[in-house]
Amino acid sequence: MTLGDILVSVILITVIFQFWRIREIAEKAKSHLNQYCEDNDLQFISVARHKTRLTTVKGRLDWRCVFCVEFSSNGEDAYTGTLVMEGLHVASTDMPAYRIN
C-alpha cells in the first residue's frame, strides 16, 4: 500500500462521512419541521435543502444548511418558509404570515 493509496482512502472515507453528516442534519431538520407544524396546527408539505456550506459552529467546523419549507394552514394555500440548521442545531425558523381558518 502506497502513500497515494492511503491518501485516496482517507479522502474517500471523509467524503462518505460528510455525506452521512449532511443526511443526519436533513433528517433532524425534517423532524424539527414536523414537530413545528404539529405544534402550530399546520400541514407539512415538503422540505428541500437550498444551500449547504462549511462554517464554524461553536468553534468547530460543521455544516450550515438552509432548507426551503412548504406548508399549508388550511389545506388550500401553500406557503414557503426557511429553516437554517448549524450542525444538528436549529439556528432559525422563518415562516411567513399565513391565513388562519
CA 88/CA 95 separation, integer angstroms: 20
pTM of the entire predicted model: 0.88
Helix count and strand count (H, E) for the chain? 1, 4
The HSE-up count of residue 80 (CA atoms within 13 Å, CB side) is 6
| Domain span at 29 | 3-94
Domain contains 100: no
- CATH number of the domain that 10 lies in? 3.10.450
Residue 12 lies in a domain: yes
Q: How many structural domains does the chain have?
A: 1
The pLDDT, as a whole number, for residue 57 is 85
pLDDT digits (tens, 9 = 90+) for 39-95: 999 999 999 999 999 999 889 999 999 999 999 999 899 999 999 999 999 999 999
Does residue 19 belong to any structural domain of this protein? yes
Q: Is residue 101 part of a domain?
A: no
Q: Are 32 and 87 in contact (CB under 8 A)?
A: no
> What's residue 53's pLDDT?
97
Q: Quick check: is 45 in a domain? A: yes
Does residue 65 form part of some domain? Answer: yes
Is residue 75 assigned to a domain? yes
* 99 part of a folded domain: no
φ, ψ for residue 79 (rounded to 5)?
Answer: -125, 155
